[in-house]
Structure formats: C-alpha cells, structure tokens
C-alpha cells in the first residue's frame, strides 16, 4: 500500500517496432561517429601545436607596448575566442596599441601570468573532431527522437533512455561551449565519459522500447526530467573542464618551478581559462538543477502526497545541490579558490553520478524507474 | 577605489584571528563572527550534505516504518546503537537540526547586514572616480577635439542603463545592482523556505485510510489506519470533510508483453467539505489528487475485499461483510487476508484466505491468479477455531492471526462466489458471497506548502541574476590636453571573478569615441 504499488503497472500502448529498430541502429552509428571524433580530438591533444599566444603575437608586431597591451587583450579575447584574440591583437597594433590595458581576471588571481589564458594546442584533426561531434550529435538526437516517436511519449522512462538523453545533453553543452568560446579542446575529455556511458548503456542497460508506468503519466515528466537531463549534461562538461583545469594547473606549477612540461600536459589550454569554463557551465547547470529539484517537488506533491519526503533520489539530489552551492560559494572564499573549489566541484559531480546510477539501481525508493 | 572594495561587497570576510584577553562580550562577538564567516558557512553546508547521506541508505521511520522494523530483526546488535544515534530518523534528528539551524543562523547573520548595505548602495551615488584611472584593470585613453563638458555629456549618453553621477571633470557610473538584489532574494527565499517547511510540518498532518466500495469516512483521527500529526496539531484541528467511495475501477493491459499491467485507476468519490455542505462527486486518479478545505486526498493503492458470511456453532452470524485482502503480487493481484470472528461461539473462528481475481493453475497444478481483473474470483480458505487472543487487549494486525491458541480445522478449501464451506464438528460455516474492491487513500494537510512553493520560485528568481549579472563600474575623465585637445580616460572595474567584461568595456569606449567622432587615439597608456 505504498505509492510504489503503482510502479509495476503499465498502460497499453502500441510500440512502433520499425522506429524502435531505427533508434537502436542510430545509437550504434552515433557511438561510431563519436569514436571517430574522440580519435581526432586525441590527435589534436597529442600532436597539436600551441599557437603563438597573443602576447607573443603582439610582441612581434609592436614590441614596445606588448607587455601591457597584449595582457589586457588576452583577457578580452581568450575567454571568448582564440582567433579573435589574435585578430584583436592585430587591431591593437594597427591603431597604435593599448586601447584597453592591464591584466583583468588572470592578474587578479595573482599567481597566474597572462599566458594562462592561452588556448590549447591546435591541430587540423581538431576541426575534423568537431565536425564529427556535430554529426554524432545529430544522429544521437535522431536516436532519442525516434525512440520517443516509437513509443509515442517522452523518451525518458528508464535508465537506457536517461543515459542516452544525458549524454546527448553533455555533447550538446560541449558543442555550445566549443562554438561560443572556441573550447573544442574539451572534446576528448567530454567524449571519453560520453562514449563510456553509451557503451555501458548499450551493453548492460538496454531495454526494449515500451510504455511507461502510470505514475509517470504526467506532463511533469517533460519539465522535471528534461531540466535534470540538461543540468546533468552541463555538469558533465563542467566536470571535464575541471579535470583539465587540475591538470593544466599542475602543468603551470611545474613550469613555474622551472620544470619542463611535456606531452599532453604541455598542450593544455591555460588553467584560468579552463577554470572559468568550468564555472560558467556550473552557472548554467546549477539554476537548472535547482529548477529540476523544485519541479520534482511539485510533481511529488501531486503524485505522492508530499513535496519532499527524503526518498533516496531526493536525498542525493539535495546533496548534489548542496555541494554545487558549496562550489559556487567556495570560489568567493579566501583560501578555497582554485584547486580546492575544483575538488568540491568534482565531488558534486560524483554525487550527481551516484544519484543517477547507484540510487536508481541499488536503493529501493519511489524513483525506482530504472527498468534494468 | 580598488579591486578589493568591490570584493568586499561580494565576499564575506573570514572570522579574524582569535582574540586574546577579551571579555565575555568580546568572545561572543568573536564567536558570532566565526559563525557568520563564509568558511564556517561552507563547512556547515558540507556537513549538511554528509549528514543527509545515511538517510538514503538506512530505512527511515518517516518514510517506511515497516522497513525499520525489518532492519531491527535483521541486525539485532547494530540497530539499537544506530537508533540511539537517531539514524532511523535522520531528518528529524537533533544533530541534523543542529547543522541546518546553525547554517541558517549563519546565513541570516550574513544576509541581514548585507540587506542594509545593499539598500544603502541602491540609494547611494556611484563612488567618485579614482585618481589614477590607468591603474584600473580595464582602461583606455584617447584624445578628441571636443570640449571636456561635451565629452562628459557624451559619456553619460553612452553609459545608458548605468547609474551615473559626476563632477565637473568626471563621470562615475555603476551597473549590475541586480546581482546583489538577486543574491539577497535567493538567500532570504531559502530562509523563508525553511520556515514554510517547518510550519507545514508543525501545523500539518497526514494519514492513511482504506475504504471498501460503498463505505466512507469522516476526517477524524479515529478514522485513520495510520495517522501522523504535526507537533502543533490537535485532534480538533482536522478539517471537517467526509468522503465516500462509490466505486473503484482499474483497467489492465490484456495483450502482449505487458499483459496484466494496469493502465488506469479511478476511484469514484462523493465528498462533503463539511457536514452542512452539499455532496460533490470526484474521480480520484493517480497524479490527480482531490483538494478539500486545504487538505489533499491521494489515491495510494487498491485491492480486493472478498465478502464473507460466517455462521458459528450456535447458528448465529458473527460476521457478514467485506474483508480487505492485501495484494501479494502486483501483476496477478493474488491477495492474502484473514477473517476473524471473535464473537463466534462456542469457539472463536478465524480464516486465513487467499483471493485469486482470475483463478488458474500453475504448471504443477497449484491454484494461482492469471490476471489482476476479477474475471473468475476464487478464494482458498484455511479454517481455525479456538482463542484469537484478542481479549488480552494486545493490539493485533487485522491482516494476520496469532497462531497461538488456535487449532487448524479441516483442509484448505477453494470457494467460488455463492459457495459455502461447512466446518467439521458443527463448528459453523463460511460463505464466500462475493467481492468488493477497496482503495487506500492518503490524506495530507500541509499549510506550509503554498509558501514553500512561493519561496522556491523566489529562490530561482533570485538565483538567475545573482549568477549571471555582472556588477561593474565605469569612470570617464576628460581634461584639457596639449594643443586644445581633450584627453579622455576611461576606466572600468568589475568583480575579479567575472570575466568577459572586456568586450563590453571596449564597446563603451568605442561607442564614446564614435559619438565624439574621435581623432586617432594617443598612445598614452602610462601617465
């Protein structure tokens, strides 16, 4: 006589098996295309050449002003785009330099020099990787859409569909960041977990397309689950960026200590840049996650007779929320900025993953829609 | 005006070093500063996350008391120790309350002074221009032919949307107050959310009731099978509504892989808001609760209540009515229950029964149910006589019998509607006359829920500007330079954490120059 009495029940609905089969095929194609993209990104990471930093470029063009001018411009451009940084530096020299000056964010953090804002090494393969990711994203989107059309409902009713949707959200967030901030250097670090998740999904979590249980018959599934999926996608990109930040930070510490930095570490973009990207994606994901939790509470109020009941899923959503809130605050707290905040962010991501995998599979609760 | 000044607005100061030789007041102040410091708030925040975790692993009384009992039986040694640490009531545990109350006191201690500061800042003028704009993180210098006064007028026009103030030679402008407004709104909304949740828990209640078709209940404590009141709710505070279950209907998938799964449940209710109000109908379904006078009725579950007529050894009828059986299997709805006839004589009678909505045979010939709908209802009964043990006054489950004091009589017998089982030795008989369906309802009253929703919505409304708006200041200074030209300096400042101000700053500078049809800029970066 618990509400989960209804969990096992499901309605009659026709499944379009042709579309369902198409969806399964598209999943495999998407995985293959992503694998190509990952290979290309890995080549860029392994063999790419660091572009001259803006400071270097400006120094060649107008050595007498370069120090200040380029520093300011780097701030202006690096966050936005590497190419415009170079173009920007050109514009500065052309008009006589130093329209804007000074170090901005990078200098404010004290330890880092302007070069921290440098974008990572680039290679022609990176562009191929980005193109392949776009293609994979479209195929992946088609997979999710056909799955939904096959069963005539929102395609998030079980673990298999959740993983497909969350990875789609992660790749989508990555593409936005890649184009808007020229941050395709995140590619390998985003695609590795995405491919792992998709492989696990196809191998272990696959269930045939089917109808939903009555408890999920509500328009709130579109609101609550969609928000949670997009937020999870954003947090995934943030996690990838944070891991890269910790690596790049180590590289910079080594460099500062006079040690040589070789291999992938030496080709990473500046730590400050990665840190900002990680922060931006959390700033995007956190309000969405908050909204997802609140929408879930409203739905729970309608379906289960209370808006908050400390169901395991609710507990871990709350914990995830609290840890990411802690991350946002720690960035504004002396002694916590930088590495410590980054580790808090990774703990938040770990809680998110735990909430998704462990709570769905290991714990019995009202959110037992895992369908594994 | 330095960068740290802006930081102060955004960031809490950490509690200072431990003072030496302070009086009690000084210690108190030191303690308060420690509590309201960001570092303490962060630690409390992380403690809250850690403290919430065990409740997801260990069974909780507030969620499922049955599982707690089972845990006690499985872990006889460990469970009492965990219980002493309130680990089966994590979210009402004193240590959990201590963490969140300290956190919220810390929060209040931080945001209330900030509210005062921000109110003053909202009315204050932007701070005067620093002497050396060239030292600001964003700055530009160029010369124009326009007079300084015209430059400043143009600067004000360019800085539309900024709050601007100025002197004869400078314009000071500031924008992005919404960041702190949103920040404060978010944190005050969280405080309000806590109050709403607390008020709802104290003044609300929830309870479960099981209704057979054709029966009803009035909203009183006595009517509930399980009743959990808030600490400030009295028995007289319950809303005086009543409800009656006319009919329960479920439909099931009849074909394919999902055969037997339910596709819909509807409980047809009639209800009155109060004994005087008119009776209204309502179709209660999952995800569609009924709201009456601030309380909400939810459809929780359903099952079958076979109807039995029991005749005892004296020829009397101690029981004639439906007996709710609990479903043991969600797909076939094979249900289990007991019929107790304590008023039977000379011996008390009891029956342990199974109800099969659509009876069928398993491969090895056992009776089972093949479908959850009542297509071929059948019961099997095992009969007992003796002492039910009810007279001792010890409460018993209505779904189980105490075997002690009872003797099994006869064999397990299968009955279809209308059939009667005659008990051996003239002990009596039992007739399976038919069945009804039952629905279990949950009734909740939470006067804080609307306020909790309002607070949550305000929190999101505050969160967006708090995270996305950038607070920035721009100063423009114009002074007469060489050769009748005017030297224009523009300086910008933003929170150190924020980046991406550069394009906006460039736009302002370029906009101002375009407005002034500026001559090519000078190279004056260093003054």
Per-residue H/E/C for B285-349: ECCECEEECCEEEEEEEEEEEEEEEEEECCCCCCEEEECCCEECCCCCCCEEEEEEECCCCCCEE
pLDDT score at A14:
66
How many structural domains does chain B have? 3
Residue B323 to residue B430: CA distance in whole angstroms: 13
Residue B29 falls inside a structural domain: no
B170 and B90 co-located in one domain:
no
Residue A212 to residue A190: CA distance in whole angstroms: 31
Question: Confidence class of residue A279 from pLDDT cuts 50, 70 and 90?
Answer: very high
B400 and B301 co-located in one domain:
yes
Nearest residue to A281 (alpha-carbon basis) of A325, A244, A245, A235: A235
A212 and A74 co-located in one domain:
no
**B16 pLDDT more than 90:** no
Of B60, B258, B457, the CB nearest to A210: B258
A58 and A140 co-located in one domain:
no
B410 and B498 co-located in one domain:
no
Residues of chain A with Cβ-Cβ distance to B62 below 8 Å are 309-310
Residue A241 falls inside a structural domain: yes
Minimum CA–CA partner of A181 in chain B: B500
Domain that holds residue B46: 41-124
A200 and A284 co-located in one domain:
yes
pLDDT score at B432:
95
Residues of chain A with Cβ-Cβ distance to B258 below 8 Å are 10, 12, 210-211
A292 and A184 co-located in one domain:
yes
Q: What are A182's two structure tokens?
A: 């020229």
B45 and B130 co-located in one domain:
no
A227 and A243 co-located in one domain:
yes
How many structural domains does chain A have? 2
Nearest residue to B307 (alpha-carbon basis) of B216, B436, B125, B424: B436
Minimum CA–CA partner of A216 in chain B: B287
Residue B133 sits in a domain of what CATH number?
A: 3.30.310.80
SS (H, E, C) chain A: CCHHHHCCCCCCCCCCHHHHHHHHHHHHHHHHHHHHHHHHHHHHHHHCECCCCHHHHHHHHCCCCHHHHHHHHHHHHHCCCHHHHHHHHHHHHHCCCCCCCCCHHHHHCCCCCHHHHCCCCECHHHHHHHHHHHHHHHHHHHHHHHHHHHHCCCCCCCHHHHHHHHHHHHHHHHHHHHHHCCCHHHHHHHHHHHHHHHHHHHHHHCCCCCCCCHHHCCCHHHHHHHHHHHHHHHHHHHHHHHHHHHHHHHHHHHHHCCCCCCHHHHHCCCHHHHHHHHHHHHHHHHHHHHHHHHHHHHHHHHHCCCCCCCCHHHHHHHHHHHHHHHHHHHCCCCCCCCHHHHHHHHHHHHHHHHHHHHHHHCCCCCCCCCCC
Residue A305 to residue A307: CA distance in whole angstroms: 7
* Interchain pair B460, A291: CB under 8 A: yes
Residue B233 falls inside a structural domain: yes
Residue A96 falls inside a structural domain: yes
Q: What are A290's two structure tokens?
A: 């908050």
* Interchain pair A310, B506: CB under 8 A: no
Residue B509 to residue B490: CA distance in whole angstroms: 7
**A322 pLDDT more than 90:** yes
A167 and A280 co-located in one domain:
yes
Residue B5 falls inside a structural domain: no
A77 and A196 co-located in one domain:
no
**Minimal CA separation from A292 to chain B, in Å:** 11
* Interchain pair B287, A218: CB under 8 A: yes
* Average pLDDT for chain A: 77
pLDDT score at A258:
85
B135 and B118 co-located in one domain:
no
End residue of a domain, out of B411, B445, B479: B445
B81 and B215 co-located in one domain:
no
Residue A369 falls inside a structural domain: no
Q: What are A302's two structure tokens?
A: 């309608």
Of B62, B463, B498, the CB nearest to A310: B62
End residue of a domain, out of A71, A96, A117: A117
Q: Cis omega before residue B258 (within 30°)?
A: no
For the segment B394-409, the average pLDDT, to the nearest whole number, is: 78
* Interchain pair A8, B502: CB under 8 A: no
Task: Given the cut 0.85, state whether the ipTM is greater than it.
Answer: no
Contact criterion met (CB below 8 Å) for B139 and B481:
no
Domain that holds residue A241: 125-362
pLDDT score at A53:
52
Determine if the pTM surpasses 0.90.
no
Q: How far apart are the first and last CA of chain B?
A: 18
B395 and B414 co-located in one domain:
yes
**Minimal CA separation from A11 to chain B, in Å:** 4
Residues of chain B with Cβ-Cβ distance to A96 below 8 Å are 520-523
Enumerate the β-bridge partners of residue B302. B439
Of A99, A305, A311, the CB nearest to B63: A311
Of B64, B289, B331, the CB nearest to A8: B331
Residue A244 to residue A248: CA distance in whole angstroms: 6
Contact criterion met (CB below 8 Å) for B295 and B443:
yes
A213 and A82 co-located in one domain:
no
Residues of chain A with Cβ-Cβ distance to B52 below 8 Å are 315, 318-319, 322
B253 and B398 co-located in one domain:
yes
A277 and A299 co-located in one domain:
yes
Contact criterion met (CB below 8 Å) for A117 and A78:
yes
**Minimal CA separation from B506 to chain A, in Å:** 7
* Interchain pair B288, A328: CB under 8 A: no
A138 and A227 co-located in one domain:
yes
* Interchain pair B261, A316: CB under 8 A: no
Long-range contacts of A14-17 (CB under 8 A, 24+ apart): A14/A152, A15/A150, A15/A151, A15/A208, A15/A209, A15/A210, A15/A211, A16/A149, A16/A150, A16/A151, A16/A152, A17/A150, A17/A209
Cβ-proximal residues to A167 (8 Å cutoff; 6+ apart), any chain: A140, A194, A197, A198, A201, A233
* Average pLDDT for chain B: 85
Of A235 and B314, more confident: A235
Cβ atoms < 10 Å from Cβ of B512 = 23
To which residue do tokens 């272990």 refer? A204
Cβ-proximal residues to A268 (8 Å cutoff; 6+ apart), any chain: A120, A121, A185, A244, A247, A248, A251, A274
H or E stretch at B415: strand B406-415
User: Which of B45, B194, B287 should be substituted to probe chain A, the one whose Cβ sees the most A Cβ atoms within 10 Å?
Assistant: B287
Residue A328 to residue A11: CA distance in whole angstroms: 43
pLDDT score at B264:
81
Residue range A151-177, pLDDT digits in tens: 888 888 888 999 999 999 999 999 999
* Interchain pair A305, B501: CB under 8 A: no
pLDDT score at B31:
84
Q: Is the dihedral angle over the CA atoms B145, B146, B149, B152 positive or is it negative?
A: negative
B369 and B395 co-located in one domain:
yes
Residue B199 falls inside a structural domain: no
Residue A275 to residue A246: CA distance in whole angstroms: 9
Q: What are A127's two structure tokens?
A: 């562009």
Q: Give CA B403 to chain center in angstroms.
A: 42
pLDDT score at A297:
93
* Interchain pair B301, A6: CB under 8 A: yes
Residue range B108-161, pLDDT digits in tens: 988 999 999 999 988 888 888 888 888 888 889 988 888 888 888 889 888 888
Residue A151 falls inside a structural domain: yes
**A56 pLDDT more than 70:** no
B389 and B495 co-located in one domain:
no
Contact criterion met (CB below 8 Å) for B332 and B371:
yes
End residue of a domain, out of A81, A96, A117: A117
Residue range B220-277, pLDDT digits in tens: 998 898 888 888 888 888 899 999 999 999 888 787 766 777 778 899 999 999 999 9
Residue range B168-185, pLDDT digits in tens: 889 999 988 999 999 999
pLDDT score at B18:
55
End residue of a domain, out of A70, A88, A117: A117
Helix (H, G, I), strand (E, B) or coil at B513: helix
Residue B185 falls inside a structural domain: no
A231 and A271 co-located in one domain:
yes
pLDDT score at A109:
28
For the segment B347-352, the average pLDDT, to the nearest whole number, is: 90
pLDDT score at B496:
55
Nearest residue to A330 (alpha-carbon basis) of B35, B38, B462, B102: B38
Residue B34 falls inside a structural domain: no
Contact criterion met (CB below 8 Å) for B434 and B212:
no
For the segment B310-315, the average pLDDT, to the nearest whole number, is: 89
Q: What are A365's two structure tokens?
A: 């609760």
Residue B17 falls inside a structural domain: no
pLDDT score at B498:
53
Helix (H, G, I), strand (E, B) or coil at B420: strand
pLDDT score at B20:
62
A261 and A280 co-located in one domain:
yes
Residue range B376-389, pLDDT digits in tens: 999 999 999 888 87
Of B138, B206, B302, the CB nearest to A100: B138
Q: Which residues of A290-302 are buried (b: 16+ CB within 10 A; e: fewer)?
A: bbbbbbbbbbbbb
**A97 pLDDT more than 50:** no
Residue A327 to residue B465: CA distance in whole angstroms: 18
For the segment B71-87, the average pLDDT, to the nearest whole number, is: 90
B119 and B251 co-located in one domain:
no
* Interchain pair A96, B326: CB under 8 A: no
Residues of chain A with Cβ-Cβ distance to B208 below 8 Å are 1
pLDDT score at A181:
86
DSSP label of B104: H
End residue of a domain, out of B445, B478, B496: B445
Residue A333 falls inside a structural domain: yes
Residue A189 falls inside a structural domain: yes
B137 and B72 co-located in one domain:
no
Residue A40 falls inside a structural domain: no
Of B301 and A322, more confident: A322
Question: Confidence class of residue B17 from pLDDT cuts 50, 70 and 90?
Answer: low
Residues of chain A with Cβ-Cβ distance to B499 below 8 Å are 75, 79, 104-105, 276
Residue A29 falls inside a structural domain: no
Of A9, A301, A316, the CB nearest to B330: A9
What percentage of residues in chain B have a pLDDT greater than 70?
A: 92
pLDDT score at B61:
84
pLDDT score at B3:
39
Residue B264 falls inside a structural domain: yes
Q: How far is CA A121 from CA A37, B71, B282, in A?
A: 17, 57, 66
């Amino acid at each position: 006589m618990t509400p989960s009495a209804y969990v096992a029940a499901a309605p009659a609905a026709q499944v379009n098996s042709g579309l369902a089969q198409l969806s399964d095929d598209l999943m495999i194609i998407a995985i293959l295309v992503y694998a190509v993209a990952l290979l290309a990104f890995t080549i860029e990471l392994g063999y790419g050449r660091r572009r001259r930093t803006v400071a270097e470029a400006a120094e060649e063009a107008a050595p007498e002003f370069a120090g200040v001018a380029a520093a300011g411009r780097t701030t202006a451009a690096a966050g936005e785009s590497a190419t415009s940084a170079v173009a920007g530096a050109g514009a500065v020299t052309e008009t006589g330099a130093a329209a804007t000056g000074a170090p901005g964010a990078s200098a404010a953090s004290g330890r880092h020099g302007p070069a921290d804002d440098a974008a990572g090494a680039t290679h022609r393969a990176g562009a191929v990787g980005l193109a392949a990711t776009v293609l994979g994203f479209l195929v992946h989107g088609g997979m999710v859409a056909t799955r939904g059309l096959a069963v005539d409902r929102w395609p998030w009713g079980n673990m298999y569909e959740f993983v497909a949707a969350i990875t789609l959200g992660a790749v989508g967030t990555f593409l936005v960041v890649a184009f808007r901030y020229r941050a395709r250097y995140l590619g390998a670090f985003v695609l590795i977990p995405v491919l792992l998740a998709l492989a696990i999904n196809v191998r272990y979590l696959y269930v045939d397309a089917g109808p939903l249980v009555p408890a999920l018959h509500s328009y709130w599934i579109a609101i609550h689950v969609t928000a949670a999926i997009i937020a999870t996608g954003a947090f995934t990109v943030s996690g990838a960026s944070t891991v890269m930040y910790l690596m790049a930070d180590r590289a910079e510490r080594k460099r500062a200590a006079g040690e040589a930095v070789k291999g992938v570490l030496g080709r990473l973009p500046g730590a400050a840049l990665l840190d900002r990207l990680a922060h931006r994606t959390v700033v995007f994901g956190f309000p969405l996650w908050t909204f997802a939790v609140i929408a879930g509470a409203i739905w729970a109020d309608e379906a289960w007779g209370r808006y908050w009941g400390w169901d395991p899923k609710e507990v871990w959503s709350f914990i995830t929320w609290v840890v990411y809130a802690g991350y946002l605050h720690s960035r504004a707290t002396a002694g916590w900025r930088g590495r410590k905040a980054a580790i808090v962010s990774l703990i938040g991501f770990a809680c998110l993953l735990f909430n998704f995998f462990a709570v769905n599979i290991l714990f019995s609760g009202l959110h037992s829609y895992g369908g594994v | 005006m330095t960068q740290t000044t802006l930081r102060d607005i955004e960031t809490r100061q950490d509690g200072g070093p431990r003072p030496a030789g302070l009086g009690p007041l000084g210690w108190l102040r030191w303690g308060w500063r420690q509590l309201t410091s960001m570092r303490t708030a962060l630690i409390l925040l992380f403690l809250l996350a850690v403290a919430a975790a065990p409740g997801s692993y260990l069974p909780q009384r507030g969620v499922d008391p049955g599982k707690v009992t089972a845990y006690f039986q499985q872990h006889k040694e460990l469970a009492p120790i965990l219980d002493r640490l309130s680990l089966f009531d994590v979210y009402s545990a004193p240590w959990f309350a201590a963490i969140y109350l300290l956190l919220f006191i810390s929060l209040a201690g931080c945001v209330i002074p900030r509210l005062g500061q921000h109110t003053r800042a909202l009315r204050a003028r932007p701070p005067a221009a620093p002497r050396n704009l060239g030292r600001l993180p964003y700055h530009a210098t160029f010369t124009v032919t326009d007079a300084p006064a015209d430059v400043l007028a143009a600067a004000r026009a360019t800085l539309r949307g900024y709050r601007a103030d100025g002197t004869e030679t400078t314009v000071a402008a500031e924008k992005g107050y919404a960041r702190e407004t949103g920040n404060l709104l978010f944190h005050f909304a969280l405080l309000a959310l806590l109050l709403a949740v607390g008020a709802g828990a104290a003044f609300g209640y929830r309870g479960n009731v099981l209704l057979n078709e054709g029966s009803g209940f009035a909203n009183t404590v006595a009517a509930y099978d399980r009743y959990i009141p808030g600490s400030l709710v009295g028995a007289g505070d319950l809303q005086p509504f009543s409800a009656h279950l006319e009919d329960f209907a479920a439909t099931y998938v009849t074909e394919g892989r999902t055969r037997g799964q339910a596709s819909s449940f509807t409980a047809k209710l009639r209800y009155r808001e109060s004994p005087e109000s008119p009776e209204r109908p309502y179709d209660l379904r999952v995800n569609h609760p009924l709201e009456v006078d601030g309380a909400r009725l939810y459809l929780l579950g359903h099952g079958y209540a076979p109807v039995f007529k029991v005749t005892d050894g004296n020829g009397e009828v101690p029981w004639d009515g439906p007996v709710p059986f609990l479903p043991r299997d969600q797909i076939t709805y094979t249900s289990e229950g007991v019929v107790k006839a304590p008023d039977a004589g000379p011996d008390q009678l009891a029956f342990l029964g199974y109800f099969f909505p659509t009876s069928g045979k398993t491969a090895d010939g056992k009776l089972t149910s093949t479908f959850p709908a009542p297509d071929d209802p059948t019961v099997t009964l095992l009969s007992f006589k003796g002492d039910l043990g009810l007279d001792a006054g010890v409460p018993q489950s209505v779904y189980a019998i105490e075997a002690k004091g009872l003797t099994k009589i006869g064999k397990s017998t299968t009955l279809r509607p209308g059939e009667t089982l005659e008990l051996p030795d003239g002990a009596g008989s039992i007739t399976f006359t038919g069945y009804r369906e039952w629905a279990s309802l949950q009734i909740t009253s939470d006067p804080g829920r609307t306020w909790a929703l309002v607070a949550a919505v305000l929190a999101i409304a505050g969160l967006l500007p708090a995270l996305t708006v950038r607070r920035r200041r721009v100063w423009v200074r114009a002074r007469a330079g060489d050769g009748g030209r005017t030297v224009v300096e523009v300086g910008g400042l933003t929170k150190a954490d924020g980046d991406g101000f550069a394009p906006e700053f460039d736009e302002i500078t370029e906009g101002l120059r375009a407005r002034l049809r500026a001559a090519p800029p000078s190279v004056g970066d260093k003054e």
